[in-house]
């Protein structure tokens, strides 16, 4: 598909190690990209690396911010220097689109006041499903690093059976863990059974929780509160993949002496090159389908 956004300048502002690879892949695909506050980009041509944020966003048509988004005050969660995205937007001119994982209200308001279209990349199924692969591998890596038993033969639970949960359950099954998938929608429970997992409703989690060696949460809601943390085996490892603040009561885990880890941003940590190439595959399509829907 031809797109005018192949010729107009883009800025990748902030990010983690995946975003340098994203920029490299975009340059390889012929896009006019500059980077600002992105780590591990020293090898990129000097004209591509811009230190000053205002200069970096001047004259661009597309601004791409990290999939990990901003904190409540609008500051990017990942960047080599603190960047207030609300301030950047309030001073921006001529930007057509802001691409970001998910946008908080302050970002929406700032973009709306400048007529900038917001594209939330984490809402896109292609990106979320492709990202679930490095996320699942990262979760397995953390499980191996924090346990003294094999995943093979372990009893594992995956809470939430969306895009990440499904891939993770399948990866655990591939390593011969006995997987229980915990969901609330009947169709998700049916899918779990079809894939050969034990299917359990969230409302029944309490009764099965003591049996698990590994508990992975992917539901972005408080699904493992204090009362349930008490039911988790002392030797278990709990890994929370859901975006901060996650779904696990970490204070309760600490009090109970259970190893519990909040594990955000796994694709950028464990497979930055793959994760960057995924962004370069998906984001241009998102931009052109949003801004040029009839082409």
- Smallest separation, CB 37 to ligand NAP (Å): 20
- Smallest separation, CB 220 to ligand NAP (Å): 4
Q: Closest CB to ligand NAP among 74 and 160?
A: 160
- Smallest separation, CB 189 to ligand NAP (Å): 10
Residue of this chain nearest to ligand NAP (CB atom): 162
Q: In the complex, which residues of this chain contact ligand NAP (CB under 6 A)? A: 122, 128, 131, 135, 160-165, 183-185, 188, 202, 218-221, 223, 241-243, 263-267
- Smallest separation, CB 17 to ligand NAP (Å): 13
Q: CA 172, CA 141: separation in Å to the nearest integer?
A: 11
- Smallest separation, CB 119 to ligand NAP (Å): 16
Copy the structure tokens of residue 51.
């230190």
Q: Closest CB to ligand NAP among 188 and 213?
A: 188
Q: Closest CB to ligand NAP among 5 and 101?
A: 101
Q: Closest CB to ligand NAP among 50 and 119?
A: 119
Backbone angles phi, psi at 177, to 5 degrees: -85, 150
Q: CA 91, CA 75: separation in Å to the nearest integer?
A: 15
- Smallest separation, CB 290 to ligand NAP (Å): 20
Q: Closest CB to ligand NAP among 98 and 128?
A: 128
Q: Closest CB to ligand NAP among 171 and 242?
A: 242
- Tell me if 118 sits within 8 A of 107, measured CB to CB: yes
Region of 115 please: left (phi>0), alpha (psi -120 to 50) or beta.
Answer: left
């Amino acid at each position: 598909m031809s797109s005018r956004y192949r010729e107009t300048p883009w800025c990748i502002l902030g990010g983690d190690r995946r975003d340098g690879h994203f920029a490299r892949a975009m340059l390889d695909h012929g896009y006019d990209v500059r980077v600002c506050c992105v780590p591990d980009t020293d090898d990129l041509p000097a004209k591509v690396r811009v230190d000053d944020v205002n200069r970096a966003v001047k004259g661009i048509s597309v601004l791409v911010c990290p999939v990990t988004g901003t904190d409540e005050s609008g500051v990017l969660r990942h960047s080599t220097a603190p960047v207030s995205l609300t301030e950047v937007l309030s001073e921006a001119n001529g930007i057509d689109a802001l691409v970001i994982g998910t946008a908080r209200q302050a970002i929406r308001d700032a973009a709306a006041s400048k007529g900038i279209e917001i594209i939330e990349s984490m809402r896109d199924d292609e990106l979320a499903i492709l990202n679930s692969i490095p996320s699942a591998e990262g979760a397995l890596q953390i499980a191996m690093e924090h346990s003294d038993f094999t995943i093979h033969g372990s009893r594992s639970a995956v809470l939430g059976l969306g895009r990440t949960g499904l891939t993770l359950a399948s990866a655990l099954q591939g390593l011969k863990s006995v997987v229980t998938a915990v969901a609330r929608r009947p169709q998700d429970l049916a899918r779990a059974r079809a894939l050969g997992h034990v299917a359990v409703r969230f409302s029944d989690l309490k009764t099965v929780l003591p049996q698990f060696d590994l508990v992975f949460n992917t539901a972005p809601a408080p699904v493992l509160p204090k009362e349930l943390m008490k039911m988790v085996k002392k030797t278990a490892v709990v890994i929370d993949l859901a975006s901060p603040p996650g779904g696990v009561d970490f204070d309760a885990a600490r009090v109970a002496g259970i190893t519990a880890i909040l594990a955000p941003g796994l694709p950028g940590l464990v497979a930055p090159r793959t994760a960057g190439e995924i962004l370069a595959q998906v984001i241009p399509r998102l931009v052109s389908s949003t801004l040029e829907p009839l082409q």
